[in-house]
Amino acid sequence: MSLSYKDSGVDIDAGARLVEEIKPFVKATFNKHVLSDIGGFAGGFELPSGYKEPILFGATDGVGTKLKLAIEAKKFDTVGIDLVAMCVNDLICSFAEPLFFLDYYATAKLEVDEAKEVIKGIAKGCQEAECALIGGETAEMPGMYKEGDFDLAGFAVGIAEKATLQNRAPLEEGDLLIALPSSGIHSNGYSLVRKLFFEKLKMDFNTEFDGKRLIDILLEPTRIYVKTFKKLQSYIKALAHITGGGIVENLPRVLPDNLDAHIEKKSIKTLPIFEFIGKYVEEEEMYKTFNMGVGMILVVDQKDVDEVLSKSDGYIIGRLQKGSKKVVLA
């Protein structure tokens, strides 16, 4: 009796074919700093010149159970964008500009066409984030995942000037809070979303919602804020990525111990999808689970607000007041 690796469920040839098929759109993310080609053991990246004391930042994340919806709908072109967004949006909260990205794709059985669509989305996200996709890993693990399932993880590295980090102006009472709109639910709260729409309300992917198919609303990719950050960073005192935990848990992460963030709920431009979910979920739970239409919050000095508003689609939702590092929703 003779066994091969393929008999155990692992197809090395499929992996090699995937590498060849993704080369064109991965290479489209390369810039002059990328020092390696696709298919090597590691990705090389030369640090940009002009930094006196460069500081590197790293971020890693996934897309949670939004991925399960994509698998069930067999719609694979957007979750790669989500993967990049969740990492690079965290990097800019540390005032780090993304340099490069790596992905990890683990599956029971490698379906080349599906994986190609996912990685094409990752490359698209990297182009939007102005970073290079310099490497990744595809792992075929039968017995670890159910057939048809796969998982994603992303890893991003960014750079900042040490002096810029050290010389940032402190947050003060009276600073204003500017919301940058989200593109939708982004990549958090999907266990609740799936339970509500498909278990409780018995909807299907093709149900019409706000003029679109429900699945297209739910799989709308997470907005990437890198270009907006680069344009505005000299006016920003702090910024918070609104992910799992919503505004109430993420905004305090950038506050000093002596200030509260006071937010007017009526100022928030809540998206229709959240208004609908809010019919079935308590308001307090909504604000602790979802972004409510706010993907990023900037803290800006009053004197710079007009400049920030004129150069972005942001809008004022509140201000900082004396307190104890918490969010006050009024």
pLDDT tens digit string along 236-266?
A: 999 999 999 999 999 999 999 999 999 999 9
Verify that 63 and 154 share a domain, yes or no: yes
Copy the structure tokens of residue 292: 């409510």
Verify that 207 and 146 share a domain, yes or no: no
Copy the structure tokens of residue 153: 């993880």
Domain presence at residue 171? no
Verify that 160 and 182 share a domain, yes or no: no
Per-residue pLDDT, averaged over 259-281, amounts to 97
Domain presence at residue 1? no
Residue 189 · residue 65 · CB < 8 Å:
no
Domain final residue pick, 135, 166, 197: 166
pLDDT at 5 over 70: no
Residue 94 · residue 58 · CB < 8 Å:
no
Point out the least confidently predicted range of 46-50, 194-198, 310-314.
Answer: 46-50
Report the distance separating Cα 93 and Cα 95, nearest Å.
5
C-alpha distances (whole Å) from 315 to each of 44, 259, 299, 311 are: 40, 21, 12, 11
The pLDDT assigned to 132 comes to 97
Q: How far is CA 327 from the centre of its chain?
A: 22
Verify that 161 and 183 share a domain, yes or no: no
User: 3-state DSSP helix/strand/coil percent for the chain, to nearest 5?
Assistant: 40, 25, 35
Catalogue the long-range contacts made by 207-214 (C-beta closer than 8 Å, 24 or more residues apart): 209/272, 209/273, 209/276, 210/272, 210/273
Share of the chain above pLDDT 90, in %: 86
CA dihedral 139, 140, 141, 147 (to 10 degrees): 130
AA identity, residue 278: G
The pLDDT assigned to 19 comes to 84
Confidence of residue 18 (pLDDT cuts 50, 70, 90): confident
Per-residue pLDDT, averaged over 178-200, amounts to 97
Copy the structure tokens of residue 200: 């409780």
**Residue 296 phi, psi (nearest 5):** -150, 140
Report the distance separating Cα 152 and Cα 237, nearest Å.
33
Domain final residue pick, 119, 144, 166: 166
The pLDDT assigned to 9 comes to 62
**Residue 118 phi, psi (nearest 5):** -60, -50
- CA 127-130-131 angle, to 5 degrees, is 90
pLDDT tens digit string along 52-88?
A: 999 999 999 999 999 999 999 999 999 999 999 999 9
Contacts of 8 (CB under 8 A, 6+ apart): 142
The pLDDT assigned to 162 comes to 97
Residue 143, number of CB atoms within 10 A of its CB? 8
- Considering the chain, what is the average pLDDT of its residues? 94
Verify that 121 and 181 share a domain, yes or no: no
Residue 71 is given by DSSP the state H
Verify that 120 and 25 share a domain, yes or no: yes
- The CATH number of residue 98's host domain is 3.30.1330.10
Report the distance separating Cα 305 and Cα 320, nearest Å.
14
The pLDDT assigned to 37 comes to 79
Point out the least confidently predicted range of 137-141, 223-227, 319-323.
Answer: 137-141
Verify that 53 and 128 share a domain, yes or no: yes
The pLDDT assigned to 21 comes to 84
pLDDT at 38 over 90: no
| Closest-CA residue to 296 (of 228, 221, 239) | 239
Point out the least confidently predicted range of 32-46, 97-111, 300-314.
Answer: 32-46
Work out how many domains the chain is built from and give that number: 2
The pLDDT assigned to 7 comes to 52
- CA 30-33-35 angle, to 5 degrees, is 85
Domain that holds residue 10: 6-166
